[in-house]
Amino acid sequence: MAELENPSLMPNLITYLSCLLQKVAESNDVNCRFQPQKVSVFHGLTRPTISIQSYLDRIYKYANCSPSCFIVAYIYLDRFAQKQPTLPINSFNVHRLLITSVMVAAKFMDDIYYNNAYYAKVGGISRTEMNYLEVDFLFGLGFHLNVAPNTFHTYFTYLQREIMLQPPPSIAESSLSLDRSLKVHLCFNEEESSHQNQQQQLAV
């Protein structure tokens, strides 16, 4: 997609996604006191000291994957959250979910990509842990990795519009759901028959 080649877009996209995930993680940290949440391989024993913004900047700098991979990774996080409602994004798992989603997206989208050992170094974890995270993420997605062009366009258009029209979202406005994970504004039905209606609604 030509818009992704705009040199100013990706830094803004990384910043926007970082803020989005930060707000959701903080909110779900609070919600975990009232709603049962499953502990998984993505959970760390403590909150990582590196911020989500710095972590995603690091991934963007060293992964050398195509810009499309970050849109696809976002789609994967949405799918994962919808399929795993008892595993919401929070401060203990967001970093591992990020590195895993980008790695899986790069493997699916790019002809040339780094191996798990390299992504483990970028993410600050061991290769063994990276392997486990990948397997759990794939099963969590139900191996639903294909992203139709219309689906990609819908997500990208939404993100692009949000970046252009408003500052990073507040907790109340976040497109990543606070109680239903990523589904406030992105509860898209990915069946081809629904794409036209969704795009028309987005255009209004």
Identity of the amino acid at 45: L
pTM above 0.85, yes or no: no
Fold of 8-166+174-185: Cyclin A; domain 1 (1.10.472)
Contact 163/3 with Cβ under 8 angstroms? no
With a cut of 50, say whether residue 68 has pLDDT above it.
yes
The per-residue pLDDT for 135 is: 96
Residue 104 confidence (pLDDT) above 70: yes
Alpha-carbon torsion 192, 198, 202, 204, what sign?
positive
- 31 vs 167, more confident: 31
Give how far Cα 5 sits from Cα of 10, 66, 90, Å. 8, 10, 31
Q: How confident is the model at residue 28 (pLDDT cuts 50, 70, 90)?
A: confident
Question: What is the distance between the alpha carbons of residues 106 and 63, in angstroms, rounded to a whole number?
Answer: 9
Structure tokens given for 111: 């002809």
Residue 34 predicted with pLDDT over 70 = no
- Kindly list the domain boundaries of the chain, sorted by start residue: 8-166+174-185
Instruction: At 143, list the tokens.
Output: 């191996």
Is the pLDDT at 170 greater than 60? The verdict is no
**Cα 110 off chain centre by:** 17
Please give the share of the chain, as a percent, with pLDDT higher than 90: 45
Which one, of 100, 95, 97, lies nearest residue 49 by Cα?
Answer: 95
Helix (H), strand (E) at residue 60: helix 52-63
Whole-number pLDDT of residue 4: 67
- Report how far residue 73's alpha carbon sits from residue 153's, in angstroms, rounded to the nearest whole number: 14
pLDDT for the residue 196: 42
- Asked if residue 14 lies in contact with residue 70, where contact means CB atoms within 8 angstroms, the answer is yes
pLDDT number for residue 8: 72
Question: Residue 48 carries which side chain, given as an amino acid letter?
Answer: P
